[in-house]
Amino acid sequence: MIEAQGLTKRYGRTVAVNDLSFTVQPGRVTGFLGPNGAGKSTTMRMILGLDNPTAGTVRINGKRYSELHQPLSKVGALLDAKWVHPNRSARSHLRWIAASNRIPVKRVDEVLEAVGLTSVAGKRAGGFSLGMSQRLGIATALLGDPGVLLFDEPVNGLDPEGILWIRQFMHRLAAEGRTVFVSSHLLSEMALTAQDLVVIGRGRLIAQTSTREFIDAASESAVRVRGPEMERLHGVLTSQGLTVRDVPDGDDGPAALLVPNASTDQIGELVGKVGLVLHELSTKRGSLEQAFIQLTGQDVEYQAGRPGVPGGGPVAPPQAAGGVFTPPPANATTPGGNGR
């Protein structure tokens, strides 16, 4: 179990992580989701005691990382697969790490076997492909057979086979009762890997919820309606208290009406009652990417076509149904937007 309390990290005037609190439960894969530059890696480094938080604490099973005795047997981490001396063999790399926490040498061969690197154990790690490096990183994390595992963007740059392998590996680790905390900037990947989500943007918590709830709430569905008598159609729908949006002629097809939070059954029956002709009646579901951008939109640090975020001001809480989102702290303002 990992518990973060008011975790904050400032670099000069930049706030990388801002008053972040969350918990990660054992026995499940918890995704740590956020756009690039949202503060995921910084948070992970603070969990592991590599970076000192400016404020707040983070505890693993009730203890700070620096208080752990032989920490590799409690916490395993893969933050960057390239944290290896390129001229050292995979086996030597694991051997020195194992020795540091009194892990027997035979465990080195076990983890090499577990990640399928036995045949290249004596080769220099600098010659490894990204997939092999990633496997070596996972072997490193597993060395001490820890109950808590952290992975930072483990599938970045991997081929589909590698992605599938890592995904299944994480499910297996969680099924064994371990705490698995894995970061990603891809909601679609997390939808398949994680049962729980901690979502951050610009260093602030956006949501902590189950993946299922997050996706249901995030990807709004709407009904697309089109007919020859658009104005009458519009009137009929609004008279029933439905929100109707006009969609102009475009790539998605000819001009139509979009009715959020409605079902095709409901609209079909409504229109049938007044005897209107329809040319189209379909459900539109937003993609996970769209949903993610919508939720983290204000919280993306580097955004194309929007230089900086001038003015700033309070960030509106994300629109979501069902109240699954924790409200942002009352004093939350856009970093960089206050008093510049």
Binding site for another protein (CB under 8 A): 45, 48-52, 65-66, 68, 71-72, 77, 79-80, 82-89, 92-93, 95-97, 99-102, 140
CB of 212 to another protein, least distance (A): 33
Ranges of H-type helices in 17-71: 40-47
Q: With beta carbons less than 8 A apart as the criterion, state whether 170 and 151 touch.
A: yes
Q: Name the minimum Å distance from CB 241 to another protein.
A: 55
**Nearer to another protein by C-beta: 50 or 175?**
50
Copy the structure tokens of residue 139: 């072997």
| DSSP assignments along 232-262, one per residue | HHHHHHHHTT---EEE-SBTTBS-EEEEET-
CB nearer another protein, residue 72 or residue 288: 72
At closest approach, how far in Å is the CB of 73 from another protein? Answer: 10
Between β-strands 148-152 and 179-184, what pairing exists: parallel, antiparallel or unpaired?
A: parallel
By C-alpha distance, which of 93, 211, 191 is closest to 143?
A: 93
Q: Is the dihedral of CA 188, 189, 195, 200 positive or negative?
A: negative
Question: Exposed, middle or buried by CB within 10 Å (0-12, 13-18, 19+), for 131?
Answer: middle
Instruction: Please name the residues in contact with 154: beta carbons below 8 A apart, sequence gap of 6 or more.
Output: 78, 134, 137, 138, 166, 170, 182
Judged by CB, which is closer to another protein: 137, or 318?
A: 137
**Given the complex with another protein, which of 125 and 267 has the nearer CB atom?**
125
156 burial via Cβ count (<10 Å: 0-12, 13-18, 19+):
middle
Tell me which H or E stretch contains 265. Answer: helix 264-273
Minimum separation from the CB atom of position 116 to another protein (A): 21
Shortest distance, CB of residue 334 to another protein, whole angstroms? 25
Nearer to another protein, 84 or 222 (CB): 84
Distance between CA atoms of residues 209 and 196, nearest Å: 6
| Minimum distance, C-beta of residue 76 to another protein, in the bound complex (Å) | 9
Min dist. Cβ of residue 16 to another protein (A)? 11
CA dist 30 and 23 (Å) reads 9
Nearer to another protein, 101 or 290 (CB): 101
Minimum Å gap between C-beta 107 and another protein is 14
- Measure CA 51 to chain center: 21
Q: How far is the CB of 201 from another protein (least distance, A)?
A: 23
- Nearer residue to another protein within complex by CB, 80 or 176: 80
Q: Tell me whether residue 180 or residue 288 sits nearer to another protein (CB atom).
A: 180
Decide: 96 and 44 in contact? Cβ < 8 Å: no
Q: Which is nearer to another protein, 13 or 273 (CB)?
A: 13
